[in-house]
Amino acid sequence: MEYAKIIPAVKNNGIYEMARDFIRPHEKISCQLSEFLCNQNKNVFSVLSTSGDSISVSGIFYCSKGGTVLPFFNLPFLKEKKDFIRRSLLDFFYGRKIFCVSGESSSVDFLTEILLSVGNQRIKERRFFISMESENQAEKICGKRIPGISFFQCTRENSDEIFSMQIDYIKEEVLPEGMSLNLPVERFEMDRLLKKGKIYAVATEDEILCKAQINAETDSGILIGGVYTKTQQRRKGFARMMMENLKSLATNAGKSCVLFVNEKNGAAISLYEKTGFERIGAHEIVYME
């Protein structure tokens, strides 16, 4: 008899290692989920399929207390045997309020269909992105330079200016229509990244012109996000300088860079392609209400 169960991915070493083996080939398109798993985050769950004495991982997902879900599933397997897995996922998400589902498109579509069938929520907004990668280069490289402009790792001394830019970025690129910002939560997240040294800036002596952050990092790559140039400073090469320097950091650490960009943002797509990024897949964010 076949059945499925959902358990914390870190419940025991055997399940944890199975989950690591499952997600490892897909780290580039599920970087943040992979990082949560590597850090043994208690909000990461394994979807286990059992048949007799055989146990396998058919999916993993992160589900935060705030209702953010990051899924990745073995879709070819689910197409054949998804009924009993679907029932387990329905039981898990019943009564939970989900804010958004974010990840590789086919996995997001599969889970969104299940969430809708629960019946207590509907889709507020759906956004489509392109996943891109700049592969690790064989030789170490130096980042691009512009006279009078510096690239540096931000500290708490830069927090107020960076936070102002981050809020502008969220309003422009992230926030769903009709939804208000939770400033304390955004400030907490920014301070967390600053403490870890994950936010970078391109600046003159007096002003930060462009910022970006490393949202996740695995053994093989870094996930770049929050790339934002002040409106009056755009089309001057500062975002390109940022990307070239982040690529340099990753390459010199033996890692590739990955990101996802809104499929409607032609200017950003062009920038990333000019700096060596190539399309590797589709990413989707579904906001629920």
33: left (phi over 0), alpha (psi -120 to 50) or beta: alpha
What are the tens digits of pLDDT across the range 222-258? 999 999 999 999 999 999 999 999 999 998 889 999 9
What is the pLDDT, as a whole number, of residue 79? 66
What are the tens digits of pLDDT across the range 87-139? 899 999 999 999 999 999 999 999 999 999 988 899 999 999 999 999 766 45
Work out the percent of the chain whose per-residue pLDDT is above 70. Answer: 94
Work out the percent of the chain whose per-residue pLDDT is above 90. Answer: 75
Residue 85, pLDDT > 70, answer yes
What are the tens digits of pLDDT across the range 175-230? 888 888 889 999 999 999 999 999 999 999 999 999 999 999 998 899 999 999 99
Q: In what order do the strands lie in the sheet with 44-51?
A: 2-8, 44-51, 54-63, 68-73, 100-104, 278-288, 123-134, 256-262, 221-229, 208-217, 199-203, 150-153
Please give the residue that has the higher pLDDT: either 62 or 49: 62
136, 161, 114: which is closest to 218 by C-alpha?
A: 136
Mean pLDDT of 45-67: 89
What is the pLDDT, as a whole number, of residue 143? 62
Residue 141, pLDDT > 60, answer no
Query: What gap in Å lies between CA 198 and CA 223, rounded to an integer?
Result: 11
The model's confidence at residue 49, banded by pLDDT at 50, 70 and 90, is confident
What is the pLDDT, as a whole number, of residue 137? 63
